[in-house]
Amino acid sequence: MKKSLVLLMLSLLLTISCGDANDENDESGNEADDDDDLNSDDDDNDDDIGEGLGWPIDAILSEDGSLIVLYTSAGDEWDHGISSSLVWFDDARKPIRQIEAGLDFPHTLDVFGGDILISDSNNYRLVIVSASGDEVEEINFEDWENDTVVPNDADFTPDGNIIFSDLFSATINKITPDGELIWQRHPFTGSGELSHPGDDEIHDPDELPNGNLIYCLSQSGEVVEIDENDEVVWAYNEDLLWPKSVQRLESGSTLITDMGHIVEVDPNGSIIWQYVFLFGGGMNAERLSDGNTLTGTNHVALIAPDGTIIWELEPAFNSKSGLAVKPNHRLQMLRSIGYLN
């Protein structure tokens, strides 16, 4: 039932997103030569920034207040003039740069030392873009024993390497920025404690300081932490609908984002904070060092601890699906009467 609902919601997002595209942009989405796509740049005219964009799928906020948003679309939408793009915004959240880089249904982005990492799922590769956007490199897996690699989530590790999940093989992989494999783990092997061992979609694997791995099992509606022996040492699965991102916070609590809400739970699984998307459409979110939460899927906004929206992108660069982030008045009320800290 959960999987069917998720597929229905994703299908709705694709349909509505296609309907919002301008037919006059049909030619802008046609696939060009690989070399041209890899280094394509659409910012010759600032007025053209945002033309034919898909919908926001992930966002990162730099220390200087500038914002980078990844827009995604599936490959079969090229004929509708909708394309995947990376867009830079200044500290006033005005768009200043856009590149396509030949992306096809990208899922996530991360940043390390100015380099921007993108999981480019339908192209079976990872992409690294320079801070300026002038240089674009790819990591492909053609020389791997299993050359069908579908990276659906990728992050830099603190040491500058890369950890990513492969949708095709249900593995978690750690590689160097040059694509050299450091290790590969099959987290379902020998683990009978998972909801659906061997038959799930892994998203957002993170390597914790103690060496454990934490990640989402999207189909199962579960987040698990495993040790070096692939044994489950912590799990949370209360009312999760397709969890897509997870973040272990310095406090020891865990921030989880699914299609309906963002929830922070303590090590015992008790909810200590949550934000409900009244119209759905979560999946990628991040708790920032100042305590605010950045949501990047379908609607890009910065959410304060009391549930109010500090800012959100203007409509032209926010959700093309009609979904929206709304102030969580119920959460604000509970805080106002002292029910929540």
Cβ 99 vs Cβ 107: under 8 Å: no
CA atoms of 243 and 223, how far apart (whole Å): 7
Task: Tell me what pLDDT residue 203 has.
Answer: 93
Edge to edge, the sheet with strand 245-248 lists 245-248, 254-257, 261-265, 271-276
DSSP line for 56-67: EEEEEE-TTS-E
pLDDT score for 206:
96
CA distance 117 to 276: 28
Q: How far apart are CA 270 and CA 292, in angstroms?
A: 20
Q: For residue 335, what is the enclosing H or E element?
A: helix 329-336
Q: What 3-state DSSP class applies to 154?
A: strand
Q: What is the pLDDT of residue 199?
A: 57
**What 3-state class would DSSP assign to 241?**
coil
- Placement of tokens 């200087």 in the chain: 64
Query: What is the pLDDT, as a whole number, of residue 280?
Result: 60
Phi, psi angle pair for 261, to nearest 5°: -165, 170
For the chain (341 residues), the mean pLDDT of every run of 10, in chain order, is 39 37 38 43 58 89 88 68 88 92 93 93 94 90 84 94 92 94 75 49 93 91 91 92 95 95 96 84 89 92 94 84 45 44 44
pLDDT of residue 85: 93
Quick one: three-class SS letters along 76-145? HHHHHCCECEEEEECCCCCEEEEECCCCCCEEEEEEECCEEEEEEHHHCEEEEECCCCCCEEEEECCCCC
Amino acid at 260: G
pTM metric for this prediction: 0.79
Which residues are 36's β-sheet partners?
Answer: none
